[in-house]
Amino acid sequence: KRKLVIDVDPGVDDAQAIMVALATPNVEVLGITCCHGNTPVDNVCKNTLRILKVCNRLDIPVYRGCTEPLLGRKIHAGDFHGKDGLGDAPDPDAPGLELLQKEGAVTAMIRMISENPGEVHLVATAPLTNLAMAVKLDPAISEKLKGLYIMGGNTDSRGNTTVCGEFNFVADPEAAYIVLNRFFCPTYIATWEFSCRNNLPWSFCDPWLAQDTDKARFMKRIFSHTMQMVQTERFEKEMVAGVGFTSCDTYAMAAAIDDTFVTECEQVAVTVELEGRYTRGMMVLDPVEMLKKQHKVNIMKTVDLEKLKKMLMDSLK
């Protein structure tokens, strides 16, 4: 089985990505590490447990991670994902935080990678604080990974949180910088522009969410706040390839679980801007190789959207 460690901040699209992983037969999720991001970390932990409960997978260990970015100001995305991170559609029977593991997310991440050298696919769909802390504590983890799959960053000045900045990178620019300069394993990045260009038509949501299962009913409840948000003028401007919705985090997940999902990549050295009035947190590409970096990442360009639709459909069955 393909071994995954997932670092998340659910977040509705994180929930979609986690549910895709759980529905994939050849995947074993070793653990889920939680990070501040769309909502404060305790909400993130609670949301992760809610997702696992609806999927009947509370056996998967969940770890609480960093509460704030390394240096900058803490930000959340309540407008988009709901204040509680999952569309403000509370569940009175949500599992309690006593189900969390005692071990912290950063040490758990290092341990899970070290116990399975060369085997772990690390999927990161939150601000990169936990990963940055982990690689500072144990730089050897970077070469022990089979692959790193990140949702975050942007390749031109199209941001979703600041003019030029994507949420996960803007929420902790220093962490993004450390990760992109200290992880030397094969790395795949689903950027914000890529996600917008590869969006799915709204018509997909009807059959997807109309499935007669608890998982589909759960998704419909937590997704409705975001669905309303996204169908506004601002977001229509953002979706470059015509109107639709993008489950950003699911692209990183799909790339991790199926090697044939990504059909075209740009291989390039990258770093992150840490200063700049408009550009702090922006990913910087170095196609001319001025930074003289050996390590190149794979920026996803095109993917098999039919495969993505099938994964999303199956995830709610």
Active site residue ranges: 9
Which of positions 146-165 make contact with ligand BDR (CB under 6 A)? 151, 160
Helix H or strand E encompassing 25: none
Q: Which is nearer to ligand BDR, 80 or 245 (CB)?
A: 80
Round to whole Å and give the CA distance between 147 and 142.
Answer: 9
Per CB under 6 A, the segment of 7-15, 100-108, 223-231, 266-274 that binds ligand BDR is 7-15
167 binds ligand BDR (CB under 6 A): yes
Among 13, 172, 193, 238, binds ligand BDR (CB under 6 A): 13
Rounded to 10 degrees, the C-alpha dihedral 54/56/57/62 comes to: 40
Reduce the DSSP state of residue 245 to 3 states and report it: strand
User: How far apart are the C-alpha atoms of 189 and 147, rounded to whole Å?
Assistant: 11
Smaller CB separation from ligand BDR, 138 or 174: 174
Nearer to Ca ion, 251 or 269 (CB): 251
Contact between 49 and ligand BDR by CB under 6 A: the answer reads no
Contact status, residue 279 vs residue 285, Cβ threshold 8 Å? no
**Alpha helix ranges (H) inside the chain:** 12-22, 41-54, 78-81, 105-115, 129-137, 141-144, 167-170, 173-182, 192-197, 205-209, 214-230, 233-238, 248-257, 305-315
Beta bridge partners of 18: none
Smaller CB distance to Ca ion: residue 14 or 258?
14
Residues 227-266 that bind Ca ion (CB under 5 A): 249
Q: Figure out which of the listed residues 39, 125, 162, 246 binds Ca ion, where binding follows CB under 5 A.
A: 125
Tell me how far apart the alpha carbons of residues 206 and 309 are, in angstroms, rounded to a whole number: 12
Minimum CB–partner distance for residue 301 and ligand BDR (Å):
18
Dihedral sign computed on CA atoms, order 49, 53, 55, 58? positive
**Site for ligand BDR (CB under 6 A): which residue of 7, 166, 193, 258?**
166
Residue 7, interface with ligand BDR (CB under 6 A)?
A: no
The minimum distance between CB 159 and ligand BDR, in angstroms, equals: 9
Helix, strand, coil shares, percent, the chain, to 5? 40, 20, 40
Site for ligand BDR (CB under 6 A): which residue of 6, 11, 109, 135? 11
CA 144 – CA 135 distance, rounded (Å):
11
Residues 6+ apart with CB under 8 A from 206: none
**Out of 24, 33, 38, 191, which residue is the one contacting ligand BDR (CB under 6 A)?**
38
Q: How many residues bind ligand BDR (CB under 6 A)?
A: 15
User: Least distance in Å: CB of 73 to ligand BDR?
Assistant: 16
Segment 59 to 78, residues that bind ligand BDR, using CB under 6 A:
77
Footprint of ligand BDR on this chain (CB under 6 A)? 11, 13-14, 38, 77, 80, 125, 151, 160, 166-168, 192, 248-249
